[in-house]
Amino acid sequence: MANLSAGGLREEDHSFEGSGLVVRRVVLMAGISGGTPPEPPQASNDPLASLASLPGVADSVDSVRKAVDRVYGHRVMRRRSIEITAEAALRGARASAALSGADWALEEVRRRTDFGAGGEPRTVGAALRLTAEAGQLLSVWRQSPLRVLARLHLVAAGGGVDDETVGRPRQGAEPVDEPLVELPLPDADEVAGRLDGLSRLLLAGTAAPALVTAAVVHGELMALRPFGSYNGLVARTAERIVLVGSGLDPKSICPAEVGHAEQGSAAYTAALQGYVSGTPEGMAQWIAHCGRAVELGVRESTAVCEALQRGAA
């Protein structure tokens, strides 16, 4: 619904068809009184790309690109990139598990092998399995994001969840177990429609920067929480897949999960609330939060490079 704002601007809400995302288009009125407003422009055929024009998003995209380029240019990356990738995977998994309530020290994750028990060990084990699986699903993601999401949930569950609910969106009034996230929960019908819309957006292709696409995938999955469990772990793994598959981080050495955890669960939840609000400010806040997470992941891997260069790791 349109409304008048200061300065004679008319704001109109437009939903991205099927995706559940909302972007406000600001249309300049011909005059405050007696004027005829111009015809609104046609809706963009690339709604993800339109998010890149939100205030501050271009700066976030540019800052992330420069940070990623710096770590890829580190001299250690020319000789030991496989080690950096492995360490980034471990640290990313630890951080993602922390955001799902299992905040273990890195060395504890490194030395443990018993992840079959319930509670925190199972959460950490799920995060490790997902990180290992992500690199195997890049080509499938380009063809069927929904197949990848189903596979990720199956891998995360690892036999620890009722088989009837694994690998499919929740149905009816099935409950959701998602620690530390308290947001309005869409019903099963809305989840199905929005997942389909998100998939169609991704398959249609976009000129949006990788950061924007990754942030939308992550945010939408957290808003929907389509599975009965492990939604946070799956959403953050999907974000990683987009960042790697887009070519922004092809060697997967910039663990955004580390940055999300470092900013804290309160900031993570607040930024998610901005995404769920659908306002331009909220969407821009969430994208900037994700951009900062990637930059902090870059900083983590840069520190690993420096340690390897000194012979300390």
Query: How far is Cα 166 from Cα 163, in angstroms, rounded to an integer?
Result: 5
Q: Which pLDDT band, with edges at 50, 70 and 90, does 11 fall under?
A: very low
DSSP string, 131-176: HHHHTTSHHHHHH-HHHHHHHHHHHHHTT-S-GGGTTS---TT---
Question: What's this model's pTM, rounded to 2 decimal places?
Answer: 0.85
pLDDT value at position 260?
98
> pLDDT by residue (tens digit) across 39-95?
333 445 888 999 999 999 999 999 999 999 999 999 999 999 999 999 999 999 999
What are the residue ranges spanned by the domains of the chain? 47-310
Phi, psi torsion values for 9, nearest 5 degrees: -100, 140
* 219 close to 203: Cβ distance less than 8 angstroms: no
**If you count them, how many residues does the chain have?**
313
pLDDT tens digits for range 178-188: 878 889 999 99
CA distance 156 to 124: 10
Q: Which residues pair with 23 in a beta bridge?
A: 14
Q: What pLDDT does residue 178 have? A: 86
Average pLDDT of the chain to the nearest whole number? 86
pLDDT at position 36, please?
38
Mean pLDDT of 197-218: 96
Architecture field, domain 47-310: Orthogonal Bundle (1.10)
What is the average pLDDT across 237-256?
A: 98
